[in-house]
Structure formats: C-alpha cells, structure tokens
Structure 1
Amino acid sequence: MSLSFTQTTSIKKAVDVINNVNPNKFPLVLSRIIQKLHLKDERTFTEDEEKKLETALSLNESDLQLLIETCEFFLQQAAYHTSKPAVLQSQLEQLGLTEDKVSAIVTTWQNGAKEVLERLRHRMLSPKQLDSVKWKLSLVMGSSTKAKTKLPVATLELGMKNENTDNDNLQMEFTHEELYKFYDQLETIQSQIDSLS
C-alpha cells in the first residue's frame, strides 16, 4: 500500500489555511509537530502556545487546529507508509499545496523521518500488553444452595504491562464450559493471525 491523500472537504480547507500561513513561521510549526509525533496522549502545543500561535500566524482557533491536525496527519501517513520524500512531495502537490509549503513538509520529513520511525517502533500500540500468565485450578465442593457439589473452577491471572504506570493484573474465573469457549475463541484468533502471515 502506498501513500495517497484524498481531497476531502476538510483537506481542501486545510490546504487553503496552510497555503496562507507565513512561509517563515510554517517550518517552526512543522518542527514541533514532528518532535511530538510519536506521543499518543500528549498535545503538540500547550493551550498557551496555541494562543500565541493564533496571533503569530494570524489564524482563528479552529483554523489553527485544522492546520495542526492536517500537518500531523500528513506526517503520520508518511511515517506509516515510510514514504520516500519524492512520493510525499508528489502527493502534497496533487492536493494543491504551494511549492514553499510542500518543500517545508518534505524537508521536515526528510530531517526527522529516521528518528520518528525509530520512536514509533518502540512505542506500544496498545496501552496495555500481556506480560505474564498464571493459572490455578480449584474444586468447589459446596455452595449456599447446594451442599454437595463438585465444580472445577480455573482461575487465570494475566499480568498486564502498561507503558505509563505500574503493572496490574487481570483475574478471571472460568467453569469448564466457559474455559472451553474461551479456548475456542483463542484458536479462532490464532488461525486468523496465521492466515495473515
């Protein structure tokens, strides 16, 4: 799959906004965006910085957000597709961006691509990842409703690794039937993963 941008209404409006930004200030905005591109839950600019940018770039709040989000999108797509600068340049030109803006985005990508790709490789895709699995089997011999019962119960403890906080555990109890259904679902997932590779 190669890099390809679609001219949506939002992209067309963003292109107009980007084309009208001061060409001397635009690369500075791009520089900050590419520095923060690998961070999932962190804003590129603080609220105070955005207020200053609105003034410096002569944009209203919604146009500034559109500019930031669109430039983030362009660079994220370039990272996702590990785009060559010439391909990125061609795609941006087809959207109608002016030569100076295309050049600024492509130069930012060329200068920051290696570092961004390396940081993205080390970033966890999911906030939690499986770190350990523990299990135990017990036998329930009775309950408040039945005096004599023999019910096997499996307890599964999944150790979850979180990139931002300490690890936590998820405990689940299964009867024989529930465990069998869970196993079938895991088998289905495994077969789907195998078919992809």
Structure 2
Amino acid sequence: MALVFTITPSIQRAVVVINRVPSSKFPLLLSRILQKLHLKDERTFSEDEEDRLQSALALSDDELQLVLETCEFFLHQAAYHAAKPTVLSQQLSKLSLDEDKVEAIVDAWQSGAKQVIEQLRQQQMLPKRLDDIHWALSLEMATKQESRLKEANACLQLTLRDDQTRSLDKVSLEMNHEELYDFYNQLETIQTQIDSLS
C-alpha cells in the first residue's frame, strides 16, 4: 500500500495555517515533533511551550493544535509506509502546501526517518500481551430435559501481562465446538496474514 494523503476539510484548513507558519521556525517545530513521535502518552510540547509557540507563530490555540496534529499525522503516515522522500514530497505537494513547507517536512523526514521507524517498531501497539494459556474440556452428558445430550465445551484461561504495570490479568472463555472452530479459523487467518508480511 502506497502513501496517499486524502484531502479532507481538516487537512485543507491545516494546510492554510501551516503555510502561514514562518519558514525559519517550521523546521524546528518538525524536529521536535519527530523527537516525540514515538511517545504515545506524552505531549510534544508542554502547556508553557505551546503558549510561547502561539505567540512566536502568531497562531490561536486551535490553529496551533491543528498544525501539530496534522504534522504528526503526516510524519506518522510517512513512518507507517516507510515513505521515500520523493513520494512524500509528491503527496504533500498535492495538498497545496507551499514548496518551502514541503521541503522542510521532507528534510526533517530524511534526517529522522531511520530512528523514528526503529523506535515505532520497538513500541507495542497494546500494553497487554499474552503470557500463558490454560485449557480444559468439559462434556455435558445430560440435563433434566434431555437424557442423551452430549455437548462438549472448551474452557480457556488466558493470562495477560501488562508491561507497564507488570500486573497479570486472567480472562476466562468458554466455547462450544462451533465457537471454538470459528475462533480457530480466525487465528489461522491472522497467522496467514502475518506469514505474508514476513
């Protein structure tokens, strides 16, 4: 899948504001965004820094947030697609970004791409991961209504480890034959997709 930016109303508004940002200050803004791009729960700028940025760039709070979010989006997409500089430049130019802004984004991407991609690769998408599985089978032989009932159920207990808090959570599942078979097919689909990526 190739890198493609869709022109949405939000991106159109952002492009107008980004084009107003002074060319001398824009690369510094991008540099800071790239440094913090891999950090999920950390803001790129503190509140004090954002106040100073608003003054320095002559932007309102909403405009500054739009610029930051859009630049982060551009760089995240570039990282996700491991975009080549020429492709990134072409896609950004299609959005009507001024040439100096396109060059600044591409230059920032060229200088920081390798490090950002490596940092994002090391990052886990979810803080919890599967640590252990226990299972058991049970067979229900009869009920008051049916004396010849034979229904098999699988009982799974998944132990999930939270890498941030180091805690363990246990999730219990009970599935009949049909549900277990559907679950197995979904796992096979996931395995096939992972195999196709490697």
Q: Please state which band the TM-score falls in when normalised by the shorter chain.
A: 0.7 to 0.9
- Indicate the residue corresponding to 1:77 in structure 2: 77
> Do residues 46 (structure 1) and 46 (structure 2) align?
yes
Retained in 2: the 8 A contact 1:159–1:167? no
Q: Please, which runs of 5 or more residues in structure 2 have no aligned partner?
A: 140-151
> Do residues 190 (structure 1) and 187 (structure 2) align?
yes
Q: Which moved more, 1:58-67 or 1:36-45?
A: 36-45
Once residues 154 and 93 of structure 2 are traced to their aligned partners in structure 1, the CA distance between those partners, rounded to angstroms, is 60
SS, match of residue 6 in structure 2: coil
* Identity between Structure 1 and Structure 2 (%): 51
Q: Tell me how large the CA RMSD over aligned residues is.
A: 2.4
Q: Which amino acid aligns with 2:123?
A: R
- TM-score norm. by structure 2 comes to 0.82
- TM-score norm. by structure 1 comes to 0.83
| Alignment CA distance shift 1:173-1:79 (3 Å) | closer
**Displacement of 1:182 after TM fit?**
4.4
SS, match of residue 95 in structure 1: coil
Once residues 36 and 165 of structure 1 are traced to their aligned partners in structure 2, the CA distance between those partners, rounded to angstroms, is 22
Q: Which amino acid aligns with 1:189?
A: Q
Q: Which moved more, 1:86-95 or 1:41-50?
A: 41-50
Once residues 173 and 81 of structure 2 are traced to their aligned partners in structure 1, the CA distance between those partners, rounded to angstroms, is 42
Q: Please, which runs of 5 or more residues in structure 1 have no aligned partner?
A: 140-151
Deviation sequence 1:11-43 (CA, Å, 0-9, x none): 111111011101111111111111111122222
Report matched runs for 1:2-41 at 5 Å: 2-41=2-41
Once residues 6 and 173 of structure 1 are traced to their aligned partners in structure 2, the CA distance between those partners, rounded to angstroms, is 41
Retained in 2: the 8 A contact 1:136–1:155? yes
| Alignment CA distance shift 1:153-1:188 (3 Å) | closer
Once residues 41 and 182 of structure 2 are traced to their aligned partners in structure 1, the CA distance between those partners, rounded to angstroms, is 31
- Indicate the residue corresponding to 1:110 in structure 2: 110
Corresponding residue pairs, total:
184
